[in-house]
């Protein structure tokens, strides 16, 4: 692991030691085609394109719920059936009898529109679910209520109040549900935001500021210190350390010199340079990652939710029961009873409880998770986490801190190790490089007296030089030793060889021409990672690690944490492929990462979990976001998923169990014994079922999810 020493960015942290163009330091937001601002959608107006909510926004469900609720109050209050249930007589005045049918009709067409359209789509595709079940119930209730209102056939099927409550509660349930869903578009917008709005193109008379969309392949651009690359290209003049961690996952910066390729979205951390553009727009590596994210998100959105499967079962059950009921009562010679029994069956086949069973659990689970530092963005992530077979952790910034830490000190005979470290800290004290800061922090942490240094010089790609007590002291890597033609003392060779084998950065401390010793620095493993790995394995879940770092670096971390499987030196596209490889073995994968290079894999996995301190793209690509950097929060997600799934099933069993009992009674299977479920009684049982489901969901609040307490 070679140490290229200057003013760098390590682990995705930008260190702008030189002052360039301020405008170049703040990335803007553009579409990947370079055609202007990318659309931004907030949670309230997010439009989904998959599943039962296709074309529906959170705001639409919210607005329809509140207006329908206002209209439902007088419908319920003036309903004769509801008045009979509560034992009061609705006020009577000219036109009062038309309040329920008129407002109920508005509720049916306005509040019920999403369900009617969704039900029609499910009918066309032959995949019945919640939308078709709701549409069937409210349509039957609407027609039956109008037949009763108009006095046709003498039926007593006044379901206006039940229609109003059913539509309103279902709107509420879908509003709650959609607020828990994540945005697929957000990840693509965040990727586009990694590109700056403008570029500095070199012309025959100087430079000009142009929009990124105006760049063409073959143009030469000036990239200043601290600026992001607006396009892919090749360095033609100058050299600089590039922070490529968001693309490659490698925590160290990379020195790019004339002839080397550079990638859109990466950062020149310490120097300005000239670059010839080789790819723009859809041809850039960043656009390729964007396409991977889109494809992976599309593939992970096809699963059917648990509530939809239950709704499909109830639809077939209710439709079949309705047909059998009508035929049976007709054969018995009672057509009016056949109509009344059939209508009652079809209306109560869609219980309020089913509409709230899943959304309530999701809402409470989301709240409980947030208190534990876990943001659930996608309901399917919550359902899937309990089935995960392997958790695939990105190394840098997830299992490790993403920043270097002093590991070992070795000194030649006659040199005190603490004195060597103090000397190295003095030479590095004026450097902003992460390795320099780690050395200084280690010296201070040990309480060492660090001498004053003067004449500090940063040697790009080699190290630093400073004058300490009249002595010229250098600290740097292999390039510095080669430049000085200095030989590493044999007594240090064994130690430094072992350090390099495990992927540590090795810096030598040189006094004049004499090598006094060496220090090793490594990406520090988070203390919480050990507990997280052990606890996951205790739960029967395998732990794997994936990284763009060298194999020896990955092997050292994996050995320290007792990780089951390691994927090293993996490029962005291959991270996505590694997730697919695990899935091809029949394993369900949860991916935990924090960088742009992780975003396709996060989207491809059954559950994508982003570290909150990571990039916006990783956060948007994931179904779950950890607010902090504690990997033990993954355990909270596992426990919450298992507990919430149990509650979902309990609620669905209650909701569907009510139907399995109530529908046959409404159909009149016990009519011979004088037991017949009236429409009013069915509505009361429906409400009771809703209350039971709501109380059962509240029990989730007692679940302990603090990551520090999860073992």
Active-site amino acid positions = 394
CA-to-CA distance for 301 and 181, rounded, in angstroms? 11
> How large is the angle between the packed helices 633-667 and 335-348, nearest 10 degrees?
170
CA-to-CA distance for 402 and 548, rounded, in angstroms? 13
94-103, long-range: CB within 8 Å, 24+ apart, which pairs? 99/74, 99/75, 100/74, 100/75, 100/145, 100/149, 100/158, 100/160, 100/161, 101/145, 101/146, 101/149, 101/160, 103/71, 103/72, 103/74, 103/75, 103/164
Antiparallel, parallel or unpaired: β 232-237 and 273-279: antiparallel
Closest to 356 measured CA to CA, from 310, 400, 394, 324 = 310
Contact 547, 395 (CB under 8 A): yes
Report residue 177 CA to chain centroid gap.
16
Contact 260, 235 (CB under 8 A): yes
**Which of helix, strand or coil describes residue 282?**
helix
704: left (phi over 0), alpha (psi -120 to 50) or beta: beta
At residue 155, φ and ψ (nearest 5 deg) are: -80, 150
**What is the DSSP secondary-structure string of 526-589?**
PHHHHHHHHHHHHTT-EEEEE-SS-HHHHHHHHHHHT-SEEE-S--HHHHHHHHHHHHHTT--E
**What is the DSSP secondary-structure string of 192-252?**
HTTS-SEEEEEETTEEEEEEGGG--TT-EEEE-TTPBPSSEEEEEE--EEEE-HHHH--SS
Q: Considering just the CA atoms, what is the radius of gyration of the chain in Å?
A: 33
CA-to-CA distance for 231 and 245, rounded, in angstroms? 17
- CA torsion sign for 145, 146, 150, 155 is negative
């Amino acid at each position: 692991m070679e140490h290229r020493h200057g003013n760098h960015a390590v682990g995705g942290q930008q260190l702008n030691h030189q002052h360039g163009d301020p405008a170049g330091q703040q990335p803007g937001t553009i579409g990947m085609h370079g055609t202007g601002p990318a659309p931004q959608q907030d949670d309230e107006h997010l439009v989904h394109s998959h599943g039962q909510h296709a074309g529906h926004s959170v705001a639409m469900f919210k607005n329809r719920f509140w207006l329908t609720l206002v209209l439902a109050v007088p419908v319920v209050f003036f309903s004769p059936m509801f008045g009979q249930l509560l034992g009061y007589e609705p006020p009577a005045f000219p036109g009062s009898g038309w309040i329920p049918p008129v407002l109920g009709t508005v509720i049916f067409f306005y509040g019920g529109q999403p369900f009617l359209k969704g039900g029609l789509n499910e009918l066309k595709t032959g995949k019945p679910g919640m939308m078709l079940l709701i549409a069937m119930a409210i349509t039957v209730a609407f027609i039956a209520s109008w037949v009763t209102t108009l006095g046709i056939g003498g039926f007593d099927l006044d379901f206006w109040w039940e229609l109003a409550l059913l539509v309103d509660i279902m709107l509420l349930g879908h509003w709650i549900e959609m607020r828990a869903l994540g945005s697929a578009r957000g990840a693509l917008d965040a990727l586009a935001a990694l590109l700056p709005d403008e570029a500095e193109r070199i012309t025959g008379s100087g430079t000009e500021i142009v929009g990124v969309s105006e760049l063409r392949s073959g143009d030469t651009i000036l990239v200043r210190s601290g600026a992001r690359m607006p396009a892919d290209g090749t360095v033609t003049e100058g050299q600089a350390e590039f922070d490529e961690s968001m693309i490659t996952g490698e925590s160290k910066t990379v020195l790019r010199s004339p002839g080397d390729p550079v990638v859109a979205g990466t950062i020149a951390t310490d120097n300005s340079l000239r670059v010839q553009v080789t790819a723009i727009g859809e041809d850039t590596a960043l656009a390729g990652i964007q396409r991977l994210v889109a494809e992976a998100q599309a593939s992970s959105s096809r699963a059917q939710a648990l509530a939809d499967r239950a709704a499909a079962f109830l639809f077939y059950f209710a439709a079949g029961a309705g047909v059998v009921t009508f035929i049976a009562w007709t054969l018995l010679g009672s057509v009016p009873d056949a109509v009344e029994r059939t209508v009652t069956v079809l209306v109560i086949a869609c219980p309020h409880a089913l509409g709230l069973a899943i959304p309530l659990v999701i809402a409470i689970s989301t709240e409980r998770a947030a208190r534990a530092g876990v943001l659930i963005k996608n309901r399917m992530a919550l359902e899937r986490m309990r089935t995960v077979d392997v958790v695939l952790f990105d190394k840098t910034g997830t299992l490790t801190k993403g920043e270097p830490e002093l590991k070992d000190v070795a000194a030649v005979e006659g040199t005190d190790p603490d004195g060597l470290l103090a000397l190295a800290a003095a030479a590095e004290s004026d450097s902003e490089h992460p390795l320099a800061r780690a050395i200084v922090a280690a010296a201070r942490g040990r309480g060492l007296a660090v001498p004053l240094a003067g004449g500090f010089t940063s040697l790009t790609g080699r190290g630093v030089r400073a004058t300490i007590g009249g002595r010229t002291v250098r600290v740097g890597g292999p390039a510095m030793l080669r430049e000085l033609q200095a030989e590493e003392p044999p007594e240090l060779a064994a130690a430094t060889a072992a350090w390099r084998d495990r992927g540590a950065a090795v810096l030598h401390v040189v006094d004049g021409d004499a090598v006094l010793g060496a220090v090793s620095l490594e990406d520090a493993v988070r203390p919480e990672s050990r507990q997280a790995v052990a606890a996951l394995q205790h739960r029967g879940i395998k732990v794997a690690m994936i990284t763009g770092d060298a194999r020896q670096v990955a092997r050292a971390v994996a050995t320290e944490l007792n990780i089951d499987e390691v994927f090293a030196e993996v490029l962005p596209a291959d991270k996505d492929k590694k997730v697919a490889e695990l899935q091809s073995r029949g394993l369900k994968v949860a991916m935990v990462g924090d960088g742009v290079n992780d975003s396709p894999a996060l989207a491809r996995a059954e559950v994508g979990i982003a570290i909150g301190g990571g990039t916006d793209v990783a956060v948007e690509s994931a179904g779950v976001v950890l607010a902090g950097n504690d990997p033990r929060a993954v355990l909270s997600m596992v426990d919450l998923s298992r507990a919430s799934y149990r509650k979902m099933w309990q609620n669905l069993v209650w909701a569907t169990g009510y139907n399995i009992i109530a529908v046959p009674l409404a159909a009149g299977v016990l009519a011979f014994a004088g037991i017949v479920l009236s429409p009013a009684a069915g509505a009361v049982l429906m409400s009771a079922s809703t209350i039971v489901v709501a109380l059962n969901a509240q029990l989730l609040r007692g679940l302990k999810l603090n990551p520090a307490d999860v073992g």
